[in-house]
Structures are given as structure tokens and as C-alpha cells.
Structure 1
């Protein structure tokens, strides 16, 4: 796919090595991808998120003066410059951008991406909160029960000197499988939340509402692939750590071990950002796992530091918010049910029912807000990169019903 904005038309890109795609459908009945059936009532048009680029064997049409943000002509410098636009002869400034949904259809700033994520959660809370609250509640209740009923014996045994190794192993054999099952359920819950919120945010960009049932219907065909993508990333991170760190540990060299750890961590961060847009690419383009990795790599190329900075800022903001919610409730639990704040290191106080319940409530509230913000920022970064590289704003405007967008500068 050619990364030059301005003349991209729906279809596959010669650079991707794929077969030519059928021509784009009319604006009133576009398709998200060539393989999907025509959209039914309430289903977002498939032509919006399919790849854009020049059709195979065709030359790109010349850019037209006065086109939208997806293109620039002789009187329009690339993004970041000053623009002339109809309605203001002889005047320079940014052209007005259509805003059918939660973001304006133009390259986005950091504040607009964060604001778009929050605005979607606020405007579409009837769809967003039921998903996140239900998943967070199920996960935290299971985790609380595992810690109270299964891990408590293990914690107590570990703090007693007269407990035999056989008793500790028996406790481990009971507690660890249950803990692993709880973590697996948390993993699946996170996948479901990511998949459904991606669909809700994609509709919010077009100014469309989505019910929980509609979000699940749109996300369901790709959920198994999203699980595979997430597992592949996790397994790859572990294997990379084994390859780099284990030999250094066997060499019994502290300096080599520290160097290996920093190399592994640096590669992990680099690949994490490089493939950070694979999830929305997989869900919205209906692609395969490896094509989603390739799409993310292509979209991130040249913008790695920008995407890293926005993602890191989002993590810091959400972590601070979660701490503000969770820590007071945890301290309240220790004060009321654990004998005071001095008991925070006491395993018995940590596993008191009151402490566990208040901590779980805090985590449910925090995760119900944090998950949609993080998912929303990822989706909006994907949209922003496609607007910058592929002129996706033109397709989004047509799908949202914005008239004459891209021909009159509005």
C-alpha cells in the first residue's frame, strides 16, 4: 500500500503483494471488506475500514485542489502547514474539518485522541460500561475467591516454620491451578472487552450508536483470531526473554545478565509499539493475524516515537487514576477489618473478607474506566495513522453521510 495520502482509493495495494480487490461499492452501500456480506440494519459499512490504495495496474488520479484532509493539491502543503480553503479567498488557516462523531476527520493531536476516548465513554456509556463492569466484576470476584479460599492456606503455610514441605506442595497443587484458571478467565475477559470496545469506538467515529448486542455481533467473527494474536505476542515475549536472559544466567555473569535484560526489555518495548495497532487492524479490516501484524508495522513506521509517547502517556494517566480509586479503599479495608494500617504487611489482614471486598470494589471501578480509555486510544491512534497515510477521512466522511466532503474543503 502506498503511504502517500491524497489519491488513495479503496482496494488492495501492489506493495502488499495481494490480488486486486473488487472496485469500491457506492457510498450508500459500501463494504468493509470484499469477503463480508452486505451490511444489515445498524451494521457499519464495510467499505470504511478496508485497506485503501491505488488499484493494481492503475495510476493514481491527480490530486484535486480543495480536497479534504485526505489529500492536498498545488495550493495545499502537506499536513502541518497552512491551508487555503473556499470561503476565505486570500486567507490562510486550517480548513474546517467535519466532525460527525467523537473526533474531527483530520490528523489528530494528543489531546484530541485522549478527549475522543473519554467522549466515547461518556456519550456511549450505555454500551461501554455494561461490557467493562460485567467483565471486571466477574474477574475480580473470581480472583477474590481464589485468594481467600485457596491461596490463604498457602500464605499461612509459608509463614510457619513447622510446616512440612509436603504440606506446602499439597497447598501449591491446589492453589496454583485455581490461580491459573482465574488468570485465564481474566485474559479471555480482556479479549472480549477489547474486541467489543473496538467496534463501539469505530461506530462512534462515524457518529453512530452501538448496542452491546450489536458490538458482540460485529466482534464475534474475529474473537478467536484476536485471542491468537494476543497469545502469539505473549509467547513471543517469553521466548525472546528465554533466548536472551537464560544463556546470560547460565554464564553466571552479572554484567552479562544485566545487559541481556536491558536488551530484552528494549526489544520488548520496540515490538510492543510496532505491533500496537495490530488489534484494531485485525478487528476492523477483518484480516488474519499475520496480516494484522504487517498492517500495524506499516502504519507505525515513521511514527514510532509519537505512538510510543501517546501510549505511555495514556498508561501513566490510567495508572494514576486507578491508584486514586483503589488505594483509599484498600487502606479503608485495612483500617476497618485488618486492625489498622500497620497490618498492611500481615497476610491475615490482607486476606480478611472486608479488605478483599473493598479492594475488589476499587479495582472494578478503576478497570471499568481504564479499559475503555486504553482501548479507545489504541483505536483512535489507528484511525489517526490511516487518516495521515491513506486519506481515510474521505471514506469516513462518506460513510457518516457528510455531503461534499473532500470537494469543497469542508
Structure 2
């Protein structure tokens, strides 16, 4: 949303609901809904419904952006696999190359997801108040945040990987605490990565299990959708083709089919996870910072 909406960007305020349950506060069940979700603290089902509604109502912008990011992502991965992992060399050199490439793959994966979350934050921010959403408006709002999102992805990746190395649990804890950093950076127009990280930590603090459950529920649904799509696409591989090889050209076809499957899976599944993340961010701000009041004013003006 633009700055004329009058919505607060990062004003902490007093916590609105000391105990963040999975539902609206008493007396708020009849909150207005000018867009994809009610303008009050949300239940998990309302968050997932809002994510699906956003994808359905703004399919062109959502799936167009996701497909572009997914295509670039898959091309980079395919090129890396083809020209780096296939290089001949000693065993230890190949192992080092494989480790470096896998680390690069992990970063590219997280960056692609962060970019989709950033784009969907803009879309959801408009969709919840019933504002029109165009690709030009989304790009104009997201473009100044592109490089900060890159920097933020590097920080989040480094912290999460370091935590995962330390017996996994610290990595999961860090992932949840930093899970709302991209929406905070994009929606509140922070120019600094540190501010976005601090905002995410503050929004999650005291509600870690609440946010964790919602993030991982979205992750599981996303993985399920992605696996189903990948399985469907891989059925296009010729039966009885045997082991793919460069000699008969089946390796190139195999890679092409897998690449197409990955693009389709990411285009469909990742926007759902990204929209859920954006709605969790808005929900936490409505619970803690009275953001729903500002959203209602913005909805009244846009209506």
C-alpha cells in the first residue's frame, strides 16, 4: 500500500491481546471484510482462506510474478548442475564443488522464496482492504526493497544455517523469529536489514509457538502441493527410457521435464506459502499494534 493509506509502519504500541490464541478477540467476530480476510485478528483457517482468495482474485499478478521468479531460479540451478557438477576432477575436488553448489542452491532457493514473499506482501497489503492490484503498482512498491531483501536473505540464511548446524533446534528457533522479517521490510518500508530483523523478532516474541505452528502448517501444505505437482509432471517422462544419458539425449530431456515440473510447482505452491506469511505478519500486528483500525480506515478511503 502507498504512504497515503495512513497505515502505521512499525509503531510498536501496547500488545492488544496478551494471550495470542488462534482466533479473534471477543466481540470482534463481525469485523468488516472489504477484501480477502476480516480486519481483525485471524484464525488459522481465515489465514489460509485469505491466501487462497488472494491467489484467486489476483491470479495474473501473483502467478505471473511467481512464474518469472521460478523460471529464473530453475535456469540458474540447471546451469549450475550442468556446468559445475559435471566437470571432471579428483574425488575431493568434486566433493568440494558439490558442497559449494549445494550451498548456492540453498541460497537461491531461499532468495526465490523471499522475493515471492516480498511481492505477495504488497499484493496482500492491498487485497485485505479491497484495493485494486496491478503488476505496475506492485513493482513500483517492491522495487526499492529489492536490494534490501537480498541483504536480508543473506543474513537470514547465515543465521538459520548456523543454527541448524548447532543441533537443528537453534536453526528452527531462528527461522521462526526471522520469519516475518521480509514482510516487515516491505510493508513498513524499512531501508535497513537490522530494523527488519528486529521488527520480526519483536512481533514473534511471546508468540513463538503460535507463529511457528502457522508457518510450519503453511510449509507442510506447500510441500504437499509441490510434491503432487512434481509427481504429475514426471509422469511425462517416457516409460522404459532407462537410465538418462547424454549419448542418447535422454539426460537433456530428463532435465527439461524436471525443470518444467519445478517451475510449475513453485509457481503454484510458493505463492500460497508467501501469502500465508504476509497474512501472519498482518495478524501479529493486528494483535499487538491495533493495525486493524488503520486497515479499516484505509479500506473506507479506498471504497
Please indicate the TM-score interval, normalised by the length of the shorter structure.
Answer: 0.7 to 0.9
Structure 2: how far apart are the matches of 1:355 and 1:282?
39
Change (3 A) 1:53 1:165: closer
Unaligned runs of 5+ in 1: 1-31, 33-42, 55-59, 61-69, 72-78, 84-93, 155-163, 245-260, 404-410
The equivalent of 1:165 in structure 2 is 90
Question: Which of 1 and 2 has higher RCO (CA within 8 Å, sep 6+)?
Answer: 2
How far is the alpha carbon of 1:330 from its aligned partner? Answer: 2.4
C-alpha distance after superposition, 1:318-371 (max 9, x if no partner): 1111111102322542626x32xxx48x89899712211111111111100122
The equivalent of 1:285 in structure 2 is 188
The equivalent of 2:207 in structure 1 is 303
State whether structure 2 residue 276 is matched by structure 1 residue 377.
yes
What are the equivalent positions in structure 2 for 1:135-150 lying under 5 Å apart?
135-148=69-82, 150=84
State whether structure 2 residue 289 is matched by structure 1 residue 386.
no
In 1, are the aligned partners of 2:237 and 2:254 still within 8 Å (CA)?
Answer: yes
How far is the alpha carbon of 1:142 from its aligned partner? Answer: 3.5
**Highest CA radius of gyration, 1 or 2?**
1
In 2, are the aligned partners of 1:200 and 1:209 still within 8 Å (CA)?
Answer: no
Matched pairs, number: 295
Change (3 A) 1:172 1:112: same
Change (3 A) 1:351 1:307: farther
Structure 2: how far apart are the matches of 1:347 and 1:312?
40
How far is the alpha carbon of 1:282 from its aligned partner? Answer: 1.2
Q: Which moved more, 1:368-377 or 1:285-294?
A: 285-294
What are the equivalent positions in structure 2 for 1:340-351 lying under 5 Å apart?
343=243
Q: Which has the higher helix share?
A: 2
Change (3 A) 1:349 1:142: farther
How far is the alpha carbon of 1:47 from its aligned partner? Answer: 2.5
Q: SS of 2:131's equivalent?
A: coil
TM-score, with structure 2 as normaliser: 0.83
How far is the alpha carbon of 1:237 from its aligned partner? Answer: 3.3
C-alpha distance after superposition, 1:94-124 (max 9, x if no partner): 5521111100111111111011111101100
TM-score, with structure 1 as normaliser: 0.63
The equivalent of 2:298 in structure 1 is 399
State whether structure 2 residue 7 is matched by structure 1 residue 45.
no
